[in-house]
Structure 1
Amino acid sequence: MAAAEPVLLDVTCREGEQRPGASYTTEQKVAAVRALSDLGVDYVQVGFPIAGAQTGAVCDAVDVETKLTGIARAVSKDVEAAVDAGVDVIDVFAPTSERQRTELLGKDADELRSLVGETVDSATETGLEVHFTAMDGFRTDPAFLDGLFDSIDATYLTIADTVGSKTPFEVSSFLHDLDTDPTRLGVHFHDDLGVATANALTAVAHDVQKVDVSVGGIGERAGNVPVEEFVVAAETSRAVNRPALDPSTLIPRANDVLTALGESVPAEKSVLGSDVFSHESGLHTAAMLDDPATFEPFDPAAFGGSRTLYFGPQSGTGAARRLLERVGDDPDETRVAALVETLRSLDEPVPTDEALDIARRL
Structure 2
Amino acid sequence: MQLTDVTLREGDQMPGREYTAEQKIDCVRALDHLGVPFIQPAFPATGEKDRTVVSELSGTTDATIVALARALERDIDAAVDAGADVVETFVSVSDRHLEHLLDASREEMLTMLTEAVDYIDERGATPHVTLADAFRTDHDDLVDVFEAVPKVPFVTLADSVGARTPATVRSSLDRLGDDVDFSRVGVHFHDDMGCGTANALAAYHAGVAKADVSVASLGERAGNSSLEEVVVACAVDLGDDLGIETDELVPACRDVLDTLDEEYGDRKAILGGEISEHESGIHTAAMLSDPATLEPFDPAAFGGERRLVFGKPTGNDGARKLLERAGLEPDDETVSSFRATLAERGPLELDEALSLASREFGD
TM range (shorter): over 0.9
Q: Deviations over 1:70-112 (max 9, x none)?
A: 1111111111111122211100001110001110111111111
- Offset from partner CA, 1:188-223 (integer Å, 9 cap, x none): 001111121111111111110011011111111111
SS at match of 1:275: helix
- In structure 2, runs of 5+ residues without a counterpart are none
**Which one-letter code corresponds to 2:81 in the other structure?**
D
**Contact 1:132–1:156 (Cα < 8 Å) also in 2:** yes
2:136 equivalent in structure 1: 139
Determine helix, strand or coil for the equivalent of 2:192: coil
Within 5 Å, give how 1:1-362 maps onto structure 2.
6-62=1-57, 63-152=60-149, 153-178=151-176, 179-238=179-238, 242-346=241-345, 349-362=347-360
The answer to which of 47-56 and 93-102 deviates more is 47-56
> Partner of 1:345: helix, strand, or coil?
helix
Distance (Å, rounded) in 2 between the aligned partners of 1:104 and 1:194? 25
**C-alpha displacement at 1:177, in angstroms?**
1.9
Whether the 8 Å contact between 2:42 and 2:54 is mirrored in structure 1 is no
Would you identify which runs of 4 or more consecutive aligned residues in structure 1 move more than 4 Å? none
Number of residue pairs the alignment of both structures matches: 355
Partner amino acid, structure 2, of 1:75: L
Q: Could you tell me how far 1:313 is from its partner in structure 2?
A: 2.1
Matched residue of 2:273: which SS? coil
- Looking at both structures, which has the greater relative contact order when contacts are Cα pairs under 8 Å and sequence separation is at least 6? 1
CA contact (8 A) 2:42 2:51 kept: no
Taking the aligned partners of 2:272 and 2:216, their CA distance within structure 1 comes to: 9
Alignment gaps of 5+ in structure 1:
1-5
The Cα offsets for residues 121-162 of structure 1, whole Å up to 9 and x where unpaired, read as 111221111110001111111110111111113111000000
Q: 1:206-248, CA deviations, whole angstroms, 9 ceiling, x for partnerless residues? A: 1100110111111111111111111111111117x54122211
Distance 2:193 2:331 in 1: 52
2:121–2:127 contact (8 Å) kept in structure 1: yes
Contact 2:55–2:83 under 8 Å retained in 1 = yes
Q: 2:305 and 2:36 mapped to 1: Cα distance?
A: 23
Partner-residue secondary structure (3-state), 1:244: coil
Determine if contact 2:42/2:53 at 8 Å carries over to the other structure: no
